């Protein structure tokens, strides 16, 4: 059947055809309703998928391949007729409909387990609970009151679906999809357990409603597992989902995941779905630790498309004079608006939250000079904003299709959250790693659309580009290589001078940007391959040039201490490129250790 790519957040489909012959699929296409009935999917789920709110007419590849395991995958058998277990390791990208793919069978399993109580069948963990509390006789009785009490106890004392997500934004996106799926099954409840907001309302909701579907981030889940009722419900979980597993590991959540899993039923008594956009040895390691030994592997990324970022046109521009950075960024934005008109949707990634704020105010003041003029909408998103504010901004940018839009963001937007139709990604300064560069670029050109990525660096970052990004198809682009200016240069210079004057008035803000940017680069000095003193001088020069400061900002005692401490370490020991050949980081303990403290702190708030 044709493979269709779906927008998970908005519920509409954009067709994109692929041949099934390479996968050996010779199934005769049938109607969606016939498929869902054949898979014995409950009526409320069928209604939500085909009617309001999803209005699906066909399924995506990942949805079709996972849901086709129904009904067996939802009925609790450890091993299915094909000899493989019900556990799934699925390689699929964001934006392919994978959220629906793992939620439907997980919710169906919850519905099926509740129905099975009418026949006296219960999971081993729930049966043990009944026996411990002298309630085992309820399974033997079939009267209406006994069955009602069984269902009440089961739904109250066991978690149906537990979805672990790396970030708040992604967790909330998944929770919203779950709410839409059960919108016609009013008795099923969705809990969203994430950090960045007060835990008290989440505890109150837990005490009031059944934990049918639980979506959370590792930190908040571990926090709430100190509560006995939460811990007990998790010990009887039916289905575990690890979404964006590669990002979970990348952000250092391996130990947290292991702790959470240790509080769940054994692998034989639960279903586990592990979804990841990549499939390296670290992912295979967590799969072996969390999945049944006979787990099935589903690869939903067609051959040749796992390196989709390589087909995106990518350019790197080295700015010699920092005062040229803002005019150049405005030129890139103007170029994108000339090409795409009101559909122009640009994401600008920055290194720190304070820099995100500063560049947001700068671009916001300069927006009237763009071709889109006052119609251009400018947003910002980073971890220091409240969760409610971040959610609102994400939704506004996601649905901003009628006017040109620009999102200034930190790396909280680099993974997982799907923003449709991003026409260009601009990175100001080098990313923290090659992997993060790929994730950032992956925000544009999604689902076969055109896109473009620009990396704008200063000269002291050149070694990072040369050594860390040498496998990327980056094309050097000089300032003079761009076409004729798209903007009125006199008006732009005047506007920039006015914006710089306003930003300079916030002296504390300037100091925060300076210290944050220095801290970011000093933590990456090995990859930059420059001495700490040179990093300090370059950051001073950058701030002075971008804001037209009369003098460079003075480093405080803390910064000078970091320069001295880093200078002592700099050059001691071989650099990564000079380490003995054959040494494999993934085998070492450090491969699974947490990232540096400043990175953990940023994402702990997410």
For 177-235, the pLDDT digits (tens) are 999 999 999 789 999 999 988 999 999 999 999 999 999 999 999 999 999 999 999 99
Residue 427 lies in a domain: yes
Secondary structure (DSSP) of 49-71: HHSTTT--SS--HHHHHHHTTTT
267 and 382 housed in the same domain: no
Number of domains in the chain: 3
Residue 123 lies in a domain: no
d(CA 363, CA 344): 15
Q: Give the tens place of pLDDT for each residue, 291-328.
A: 999 999 999 986 655 555 567 899 999 999 999 999 99
Structure confidence at residue 390 (pLDDT): 84
Strand partners, 430: none
Tokens standing for 48?
Answer: 């939500």
Q: Is residue 400's pLDDT more than 60?
A: yes
Structure confidence at residue 442 (pLDDT): 83
Tokens standing for 13?
Answer: 């489909």
Percent of the chain with pLDDT over 70: 85
451 and 556 housed in the same domain: no
Cβ neighbours around 372 below 10 Å, total: 23
321 and 192 housed in the same domain: no
Tokens standing for 245?
Answer: 């597993």
Cβ neighbours around 306 below 10 Å, total: 15
Asked if residues 190 and 175 have their Cβ atoms less than 8 Å apart, the reply is yes
Percent of the chain with pLDDT over 90: 67
For residue 216, give its domain range: 38-113+158-299
Q: Is residue 448's pLDDT more than 80?
A: no
Residue 379 lies in a domain: yes
The radius of gyration of the chain's CA atoms, rounded to the nearest angstrom, is 26
Residue 204 lies in a domain: yes
Question: What average pLDDT does range 106-126 have in this prediction?
Answer: 95
**Interstrand relation of 453-458 and 314-319 (parallel, antiparallel or unpaired):** parallel
Cβ neighbours around 574 below 10 Å, total: 9
Secondary structure (DSSP) of 162-190: EEE-SSHHHHHHHHHHHHHHTTT-TT--E
Q: Give the tens place of pLDDT for each residue, 12-68.
A: 222 222 223 333 343 434 599 999 999 999 999 999 999 999 999 999 999 999 999
Closest to 388 (Cα-Cα) out of 135, 172, 170: 172
Structure confidence at residue 569 (pLDDT): 60
Q: 211-220, 229-238, 351-360, 388-397: which range is least confident on average?
A: 388-397
pTM above 0.75, yes or no: no
Which of 256, 275, 299 finishes a domain?
299
458 and 520 housed in the same domain: no
Closest to 603 (Cα-Cα) out of 214, 218, 254, 229: 218
Tell me whether the omega of the peptide bond preceding residue 51 falls within 30 degrees of 0, making it cis: no
Q: 15-29, 487-501, 527-541: which range is least confident on average?
A: 15-29
Sign of the C-alpha dihedral, residues 481, 484, 490, 493? negative
**Interstrand relation of 4-6 and 13-15 (parallel, antiparallel or unpaired):** antiparallel
CATH number of the structural domain spanning residue 262: 3.40.50.300
Tokens standing for 350?
Answer: 């920055």
d(CA 61, CA 63): 5
Residue 21 lies in a domain: no
541 and 470 housed in the same domain: no
Closest to 500 (Cα-Cα) out of 321, 318, 346, 325: 325
Tokens 């009151």 sit on residue = 145
Q: 34-38, 476-480, 537-541: which range is least confident on average?
A: 476-480
402 and 270 housed in the same domain: no
DSSP conformational letter for 271: E
288 and 315 housed in the same domain: no
Residue 81 lies in a domain: yes
227 and 347 housed in the same domain: no
Structure confidence at residue 475 (pLDDT): 95
Q: Is 287 exposed, middle or buried (0-12, 13-18, 19+ CB in 10 A)?
A: buried
Residue 551: phi and psi, rounded to 5, are -135, 160
Which of 238, 269, 299 finishes a domain?
299
313 and 434 housed in the same domain: yes
Residue 557 lies in a domain: yes
Q: Is residue 483's pLDDT more than 80?
A: no
294 and 378 housed in the same domain: no
401 and 316 housed in the same domain: yes
391 and 342 housed in the same domain: yes
d(CA 25, CA 28): 9
Asked if residues 199 and 228 have their Cβ atoms less than 8 Å apart, the reply is no
Residue 137 lies in a domain: no
Which of 250, 267, 299 finishes a domain?
299
Tokens standing for 319?
Answer: 């700015």
């Amino acid at each position: 059947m044709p493979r269709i790519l779906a927008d998970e957040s908005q519920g509409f489909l954009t067709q994109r055809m692929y041949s099934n012959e390479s996968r050996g699929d010779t199934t005769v296409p049938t109607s969606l309703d016939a498929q869902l009935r054949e898979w014995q999917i409950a009526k409320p789920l069928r209604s939500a998928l085909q009617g309001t709110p999803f209005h699906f007419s066909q399924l995506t590849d990942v949805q079709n391949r996972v849901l086709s395991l129904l009904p067996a995958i939802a009925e609790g058998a450890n091993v299915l007729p094909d000899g493989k277990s019900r556990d799934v390791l699925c390689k699929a990208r964001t934006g392919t409909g994978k959220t629906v793919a793992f939620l439907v069978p997980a919710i169906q399993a919850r519905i099926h387990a509740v129905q099975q109580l009418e026949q006296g069948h219960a999971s081993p963990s729930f049966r043990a609970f009944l026996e411990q509390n002298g309630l085992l006789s309820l399974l033997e009785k079939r009267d209406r009151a006994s069955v009602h009490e069984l269902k009440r106890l089961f739904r109250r004392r066991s978690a149906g679906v537990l979805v672990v997500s790396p970030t708040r934004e992604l967790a909330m996106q998944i929770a919203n999809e779950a709410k839409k799926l059960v919108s016609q099954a009013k008795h099923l409840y969705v809990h969203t357990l994430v950090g960045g907001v007060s835990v008290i309302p989440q505890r109150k909701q837990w005490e009031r409603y059944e934990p049918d579907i639980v979506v959370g981030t590792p930190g908040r889940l571990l926090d709430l597992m100190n509560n006995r009722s939460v811990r007990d419900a998790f010990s009887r979980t039916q289905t575990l989902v690890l979404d964006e597993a590669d990002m979970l590991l990348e952000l250092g959540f391996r130990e947290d995941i292991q702790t959470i899993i240790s509080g769940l039923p054994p692998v034989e008594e639960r279903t586990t779905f592990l979804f990841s956009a990549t499939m390296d040895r670290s992912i295979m390691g967590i799969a072996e630790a969390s999945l049944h030994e006979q787990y099935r592997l589903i690869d939903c990324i067609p051959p040749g498309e796992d390196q989709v970022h390589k087909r995106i046109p990518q350019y790197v521009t080295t700015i010699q004079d920092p005062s040229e950075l803002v005019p150049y960024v405005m030129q890139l934005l103007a170029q994108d608006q000339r090409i795409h008109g009101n559909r122009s949707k640009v994401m600008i990634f920055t290194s720190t939250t304070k820099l995100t704020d500063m560049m947001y105010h700068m671009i916001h003041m300069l927006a009237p000079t763009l071709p889109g003029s006052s119609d251009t909408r400018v947003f910002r998103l980073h971890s220091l904003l409240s969760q409610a504010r971040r959610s609102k901004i994400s939704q506004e940018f996601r649905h901003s299709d009628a006017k040109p839009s620009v999102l200034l963001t930190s790396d909280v937007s680099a993974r997982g959250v799907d923003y449709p139709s991003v026409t260009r990604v601009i990175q100001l300064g080098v990313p923290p790693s090659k992997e993060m560069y790929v994730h950032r670029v992956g925000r544009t050109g999604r689902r076969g659309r055109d896109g473009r990525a620009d990396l704008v660096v200063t000269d002291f970052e050149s070694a990072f580009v040369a050594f860390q990004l040498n496998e990327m198809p980056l094309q050097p682009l000089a300032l003079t290589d761009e076409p004729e200016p798209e903007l009125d240069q006199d008006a732009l210079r005047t506007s920039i001078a006015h914006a710089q004057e306003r930003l300079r008035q916030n002296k504390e803000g300037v100091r925060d940007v300076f210290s944050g940017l220095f801290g970011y680069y000093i933590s990456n000095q090995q990859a930059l391959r420059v001495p700490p003193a040179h990093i300090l001088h370059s950051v001073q020069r950058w701030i002075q040039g971008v804001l037209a400061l009369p003098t460079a900002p003075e480093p405080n005692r803390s910064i000078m201490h970091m320069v001295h401490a880093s200078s002592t370490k700099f050059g001691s020991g071989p650099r990564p490129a000079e380490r003995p050949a054959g040494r494999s980081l993934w085998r070492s303990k450090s491969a699974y250790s947490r990232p540096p403290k400043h990175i953990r702190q940023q994402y702990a708030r997410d």
